[in-house]
Structure 1
Amino acid sequence: MLRLQLLTWDVKDTLLRLRIPVGKTYAAEAQAFGVHVQAEALNRSFRQAYKAQSDRFPNYGLSQGLTSKQWWVDVVMETFRLSGARDEKALPSIAEKLYRDYSSKHNWETLPGAKETLQQCQRMGFRMAVVSNFDRRLPEILAQSSLHKHFEFVLSSEDAGCAKPDRRIFLEALRISGVPPQLAAHVGDHYVNDYRAAREAGMHSFLLKTAGQAAEWETEVPKEHLLPSLAHLPSLIEKG
């Protein structure tokens, strides 16, 4: 591997993760509005609503005239409807409040070793940026989590107008940075969206292993590209 100049990072489940399950957060917020729904039902309904919305309106429906905020408000309201909530008048207020809540660090926590690894990579001289399937709330979330300072720029799929695994989002990050693909590497937790997509853009990539990952993907990834934890990254890359 040539000496790398740029590291791009996924965010969700790579650097940050939700503090508590979506259903529990939704249930607590709804209760404040007098709407009572079980957290587990909300967890199941959220997965269903999120998938349906993503299939129908990819990348927040930007190409179909939606805003990312409206996209999320619709997901939240459909989650409650699928869970049996009947108070239609309260749902828009609940959805708006949850949209704001997820802009804050209170619903997010930094993964173990993330801050230390970012600091070490900076000390090693790497330029760093974010490439994430996220909406425009991401810079604020990163700032509140004290991670924003590590990155030259944050490229969300909303800002890029395309989402991983579309390689154009990586090509845009390379254009912004002025770094050729062979001198850049991406770090993420998703085999298709992060590991493989970055490689299809000509970059190097590293895959953070997670408990829910399909075991067969591991045979597709060389051992030196697999990260049992973020702390393993600096030892796999060196900058002369």
Structure 2
Amino acid sequence: MIPYAQIDTIFLDHGNTLVSIDFDWVASELEARRVVCAPDALRRAEAAARPEYSQRLFVDGVSEGTDLFSAYLLAMFNKLDMTACLPVPDLETLVAELKIVLRPDGRSSVLWRSVMPRVPDALAKLRDLGVTLAVVSNSDGTVERSLETAGLRSYLSVVIDSALAGYEKPDPRIFGRALEACGAQPDRTLHVGDLYHADVAGARGAGLHAVLLDPFDDWAVTDCERVPDLWAVANLLEVARTTTH
């Protein structure tokens, strides 16, 4: 059980915790290639692909140095209900084209730009509760810029980007860097993210508490708390503090 009433610091993943990819843009690029697919179908497929993608990346030994973005797109497209996408595309060809279009400079900040529902409200509530907030993200050096563009940077005390830190989740050193920067204690710190092997296992390896974001109940894990979004986390802290006072 997570002692929510004692939590005074929260680390947040970036992608799929604060911002999502721009599914409208991805859908429009697919449509330009004669693949008609609704943004909501893409959103659902991306979430469904996370367990498999997490396993492949962090358990099967695929590193961040590989063509990770292609693997990410392919995992998402493989989860699409093809009856909603006409004509049925050749996925490998599609991925080869889109990985260039969606990351024109090889960076992720343009694609990951949609603030997720109720995230500003959740961050404001957590800030009002006196919680120190930080981002701990596996990224490519663009997280700070992405947060500024999204209007979320002001809520955060610290931003740790793996490309700048020199190590990535689940390496406990990246969490240690964030703890030091925040002046936080691991037993009073909660990490929130969307990939079990990076976020939950990684945070626990550094002595932190962790919760998994699972908006559609896609994960078959039973050893961690799962919630649909950051707003649910903020409510859990608020209720815990109200109950203990």
Q: What's the TM-score once normalised by structure 2's chain length?
A: 0.66
- What 5-or-longer segments of structure 1 have no aligned partner? 62-70
Whether the 8 Å CA contact 2:107–2:142 is kept in 1: the answer is no
Q: Which amino acid aligns with 1:231?
A: W
Residues 181-210 of structure 1 show CA distances to partners (whole Å, capped at 9, x for unaligned) of 112111112222112221121111222223
The corresponding residue for 2:104 is 98
CA contact (8 A) 2:215 2:227 kept: no
Asked whether the equivalents of residues 131 and 170 of structure 1 are also in contact (C-alpha less than 8 Å), the reply is yes
Provide the identity percentage.
25
The equivalent residue for 1:190 is: 195
Corresponding residue number in structure 1 for 2:236: 236
Distance 1:84 1:4, change over 3 A: closer
Contact 2:189 2:208 in 1 (8 A): yes
Query: RMSD over aligned Cα, in angstroms?
Result: 4.0
The offset of 1:103, in angstroms, is 2.6
Instruction: Tell me: CA distance 1:189–1:131, structure 2 relative to 1, closer, same or farther (3 Å).
Output: same
Do the aligned partners of 1:189 and 1:210 also contact (CA within 8 Å) in 2? no
Aligned match of 2:14: 11
Structure-2 residue corresponding to 1:64? none
CA deviation map 1:176-235 (0-9, x unaligned): 2221211211111222211222112111122222326322x0x212xxx33233222123
Residues 78-105 of structure 1 show CA distances to partners (whole Å, capped at 9, x for unaligned) of x99951899xxxx8xx56972378433x
**C-alpha deviation, 1:75, in angstroms:** 5.7
Query: Could you tell me how far 1:25 is from its partner in structure 2?
Result: 6.1
**Which range is displaced more, 109-118 or 94-103?**
94-103
TM-score of the superposition, structure 1-length normalised?
0.67
Partner of residue 169, structure 1: 174
Residue 83 of structure 1 pairs with residue 93 of structure 2: yes
Distance 2:95 2:184 in 1: 50
Q: Which runs of 5 or more residues in structure 2 are unaligned? A: 43-48, 75-89
Larger radius of gyration: 1
Partner of 1:65: none
2:128 is the counterpart of 1:118: no
Q: Is the 8 A contact 2:107 2:140 kept in 1?
A: no
Q: Deviations over 1:48-97 (max 9, x none)?
A: xx999998983347xxxxxxxxx78x969xx99951899xxxx8xx5697
Checking the alignment, whether the CA contact within 8 Å between 1:167 and 1:201 is kept in structure 2 is yes
| CA–CA separation in structure 1 for the residues paired with 2:95 and 2:232 | 45
Where do 1:211-226 residues align within 5 Å?
Answer: 211=216, 213-215=218-220, 217=221, 219-221=222-224, 225-226=225-226
Residue 140 of structure 2 corresponds to which residue in structure 1? 135
- Are the counterparts in 1 of residues 19 and 116 from structure 2 also a CA contact under 8 Å? yes
Q: 2:118 corresponds to which letter in structure 1?
A: G
Which 4+ runs in 1 deviate beyond 6 A? 50-57
Task: Give the aligned length.
Answer: 207
Aligned: 1:207 with 2:217: no
In 1, are the aligned partners of 2:16 and 2:194 still within 8 Å (CA)?
yes
DSSP-derived class of the 1:226 partner: strand
Give 1:144 deviation, angstroms: 0.6
Instruction: Write the letter of the residue equivalent to 2:7.
Output: L
